[in-house]
Chains A and B, each alone.
Chain A
Amino acid sequence: MSAPAVPDERVAAVSPVRRLLVRPELGALIGAVVVFVFFALLSSTFRSADGVANWLDPASTLGIMAVAVALLMIGGEFDLSAGVLTGTTGLAVTILATRFGLNVWLAVLLSLVLALAVGLANGYVVTRTKLPSFIVTLGMFLVLQGLNLGVTKLLTGNVLVGGLVGRSGFDSAHLVFASSVVLGGTYFKVSIVWWLVLTVLATLVLLRTRFGNWVFAVGGDANAARKVGVPATRTSMALFATTATAAWLVGTITALRNTSAQADAGVGDELTFIVAAVIGGCLLTGGFGSAVGASLGALIFGMTSVGIVYAGWDADWYKLFLGAMLLLAVFANQFVRRYAERRRRS
């Protein structure tokens, strides 16, 4: 009766090449290497230590966001309010510290509370109404954009709030969020450390924790996940809160660096985060992607934005270049998926 356990050729180990090819971050890794070599050949400044520090800087703030957005996208959701929220949190820090005279640390803490409230509101509405997060967070995006401008003008009569320098707690907060680390005579922004730590942390969470498992499962098929008792709603809420927390970190970093905040900061960045995550291998349909990939996507952005300037080109070419990268990444992803899925039908 019991069939003998004959080895089945379908069980044969997946070839290492195939395994590598279906890794989400492979495309972004190749892309990052190509972009680096390209600009390194064009400009010696680009490959100098100072140059590296220069392009790691924009990569880091973008990377912090891209990693969080990648987690959210793997979990099957979008957050279009993430960009403008970096503006909101920066404004909150600046306004609370300068117009209300709060200690900068207290202002930073209250800004975090605000960010979490926004993130949880996004998550609550999305999970309760089952509306696409695309629409819900687009609403939040407009609400925040209006608030940023309205409240800032109301309180300060201006669209730029400055004067953080010298406030109590500024120096220590600046040290933590906005200082530079000297490494072999080159100044590296401390945000790079934040970015690397968060990338490692997100990767560990995704690949080595129960929560990480839930994220993949909920993003792939929330109903299937629910059937085995995965707390899908809580998982989504946590992911929205994570994105909001990342936005708070970036907003705080930016405000402390500039010692001021602008009412229109962050608007439009939300798409850049998504593009970086997609270049990093995230699927728009959820359930697939990687934090390292998103960081590599951010690195490509950072290298390109700075590399174009070093190469002496007009910065207008930046967008064209990124558009091409995005399309290339999406085609490559699709190709790899098809390649992987062919096994199922064979």
Chain B
Amino acid sequence: MPAGEAMTEFDPNPTVPEPEALMPVQAEPRPAQTMAPRPGGIPLTDATVLTAPPLIGIQDLNLFYGEKQALHGINLEVREHSVMSLIGPSGCGKSTLLRCLNRMNDLIGNVRVEGRVTIGEDDLYAPGVDVITLRKRMGMVFQKSNPFPKSIYENVAYGLRIQGVKDKNILDEAVERSLISSGLWDEVKDRLKDSGLGLSGGQQQRLCIARALAVRPEVLLMDEPCSALDPLATSRIEELIFELKRDFTIVIVTHNMQQAARVSDFTAFFWMGKLIETGLTEMLFTNPRVRMTEDYISGRFG
């Protein structure tokens, strides 16, 4: 490819799995019993989710990094205002799938995608799709918090600024709204002019979430958003995910079974680039249909 290689060199070691990843809930035989109660005591899956129309559709998706196939015939649906978590051992293609949804894989040279990915009515990979507009509809939160070396305010306002928004009132309003949504407002409202890098890890991650929310995306893609955070910060983000579900559709990659169980309505289990099983989180965790799924979520994997 002609350009952009400097930005996106091949990354031979994607994410190293956290130690907790492969031994989630060994103590109990049935993972369901180990699940923490949902924040606010709301039932795990409310019925509205079951009737919601699908927003994202993935059909027969194959993805190749050069010769190597990383995704094999994936078929998956994500319903509106639901949380879908993607789980599976390291290197199974969770991040790859997530990055297909906002076409971040385009930035890597030598990637080939086959199949259909739709959001609403629109085919993501149809020729002539405006990737820039597309990415505005799909907010992304990364594994490691990555605020810009700018002020807190400018971090959140960034997405709007590059869209050409100059009106101070609109920006102020968007910054406040997003920071409130991400639960950071009370902590930073007096120091919006300070650098975003001066925040703690957990605050930085919530800043990144606010930054993604500011452009009002339809979908929020989160790639292990809590893997670098302590339990307290993690639970704050989990609560946040639960709040955000009202306005957004969320796809989250996680290595933490409990987290998947706590936050998501649906779960998809991947293995070696293949989708092994998907369904309601409750069902998948209490009553997996495939042996491999059961082995994985109960930590008897490999």
Bound pair: A and B? no
State the B residues within 8 Å of A (CB): none
State the A residues within 8 Å of B (CB): none
